[in-house]
Structure 1
């Protein structure tokens, strides 16, 4: 434990400031922690508490020969590392929400939108249902602990004064951003295939029985089938989301290896 006199040390204070910047970048962008429902002051307070717990395991940097410009670059570097770490976790939720948007559109809920408090944007009711379910699973399997573990892990693999500027890191983030669509496909596969087959069957029935109004009959049928398959696929959703969340730790490890050189 550092003594009270360390608080009067400029190097100690600046090192603590850089830690708070990185931790804030992670917590302000990570899912659940970075939700719009969580007050900004609470997030900042939690960032300071986590930084206090971490600083004892971080080497104090000497700022005697550091210019103001270099200090600003260090602050930007810590902020970008924190944002990149939190955004990787956010990609998981974005993929699931995108899948929910597609399911809602297929079920006929394309215009039934509600406000998502996490992103302050309008999403379909199915996407919001999956988002709430996803948050509960995230907390149940310790996703919040994964984020905190990623914070501690970042200082081990990417020290405060070390950073490798490489295009490989940007390419890695872009690739993971593209995996949002793959995540969406994995999540919506059961419902999407069922509704696609239902549309094919309804199209065949419309040709065989021209007197039947497909629009009136098909709308409640596709909603009923969609909700039924969505209910039956909850266990599948849990397993897939758990695997995706564990993959997040692998992605974080790869990202830190790239940034740490």
Structure 2
């Protein structure tokens, strides 16, 4: 009977477990897969199936003692790589959440909030509408498949070993939050500019006729006109969605040296 030692166990772990840690961490943090609507068991099964599908075609894995400090460090690195890749795409969806909140605050819908079932936080109704719309659009255009493609390619551009994401790429990922707020402002700018004109008009009316109760007139007017403005400005969402998607996928590829 062949003897099973720690080296043999390390070889088995290297062939399947190291990729599984990176893929599982990605599914934990990535949009669509990492939401609370997807049970943890489903994510584990998806990560396991994807590992089985791509493991035979991956580069050779390092042989590491399964019960050593090196194995622990290698596992932590794979988890951090997967989380970083998923987080870079999570920022992409938050652009539309932040943009919806900016518009909602200017049109008077800031008080109308609901619990986001995907992330478990409270957001405005308009942000939830944008998030649902963009999620459906992202899936319909196979954005989730593009994420999985970049994830599978990361095992070639950043092989499993003691190579990690560069310091420059990590700093750029931290600065990616600024890109999120800039893009959200760009998304909300047409609606905010239109709502500002409406506010200025209401201010002129108040100045010309102080006896009018501007609160009883202006609030429903802002809500109605705000909804119309949002409907009109939806025509410009598709080009921005395409641009933001390309930039997010480019950032995800840049993290792993692609």
Q: TM-score, normalised by structure 2?
A: 0.92
TM-aligned CA distance change 1:80 to 1:164, over 3 Å: closer
Q: How many residues align?
A: 251
Runs of 4+ residues over 4 Å off in structure 1: 64-67
**Counterpart secondary structure, 2:37:** coil
Kept after mapping to 1: 8 A contact 2:81/2:164: no
Q: Name the residue aligned to 2:149.
A: 149
Kept after mapping to 1: 8 A contact 2:13/2:66: no
Superposition deviation, residue 65 in structure 1: 5.8
Superposition deviation, residue 160 in structure 1: 0.3
Looking at structure 1, the residues matched to 178 and 37 of structure 2 have their Cα atoms a distance apart, in angstroms, of 27
Q: Name the residue aligned to 2:76.
A: 76
Looking at structure 2, the residues matched to 254 and 165 of structure 1 have their Cα atoms a distance apart, in angstroms, of 9
Superposition deviation, residue 246 in structure 1: 1.4
**Counterpart secondary structure, 2:163:** coil
Q: 1:74-111 deviations in whole A, cap 9, x for unaligned?
A: 11100111011000110011121011111111111112
Q: Name the residue aligned to 2:192.
A: 192
Superposition deviation, residue 189 in structure 1: 1.4
TM-aligned CA distance change 1:162 to 1:239, over 3 Å: same
Q: TM-score, normalised by structure 1?
A: 0.91
TM-aligned CA distance change 1:204 to 1:142, over 3 Å: same
Q: Name the residue aligned to 1:182.
A: 182
**Counterpart secondary structure, 2:123:** strand
Kept after mapping to 1: 8 A contact 2:20/2:51: yes
Which structure 2 segments of 5+ residues have no match?
1-7
Kept after mapping to 2: 8 A contact 1:103/1:188: yes
Looking at structure 1, the residues matched to 91 and 65 of structure 2 have their Cα atoms a distance apart, in angstroms, of 39
Q: 1:88-135 deviations in whole A, cap 9, x for unaligned?
A: 110011121011111111111112110101110000000001011111
Looking at structure 1, the residues matched to 244 and 236 of structure 2 have their Cα atoms a distance apart, in angstroms, of 12
Superposition deviation, residue 164 in structure 1: 4.0
Which structure 1 segments of 5+ residues have no match?
1-7
| Residues 199-218 of structure 1 aligned to structure 2 (within 5 Å) | 199-218=199-218
Looking at structure 2, the residues matched to 117 and 164 of structure 1 have their Cα atoms a distance apart, in angstroms, of 34
| Residues 1-261 of structure 1 aligned to structure 2 (within 5 Å) | 10-64=10-64, 68-164=68-164, 166-257=166-257
Task: Indicate the RMSD between aligned Cα atoms, in angstroms.
Answer: 1.8
Q: 1:225-248 deviations in whole A, cap 9, x for unaligned?
A: 111111112221122012111112
**Counterpart secondary structure, 1:14:** helix
TM-aligned CA distance change 1:152 to 1:62, over 3 Å: closer
Kept after mapping to 2: 8 A contact 1:12/1:60: no
Q: 1:41-67 deviations in whole A, cap 9, x for unaligned?
A: 001100111111111121232425676
Kept after mapping to 1: 8 A contact 2:64/2:70: no
**Counterpart secondary structure, 1:236:** helix
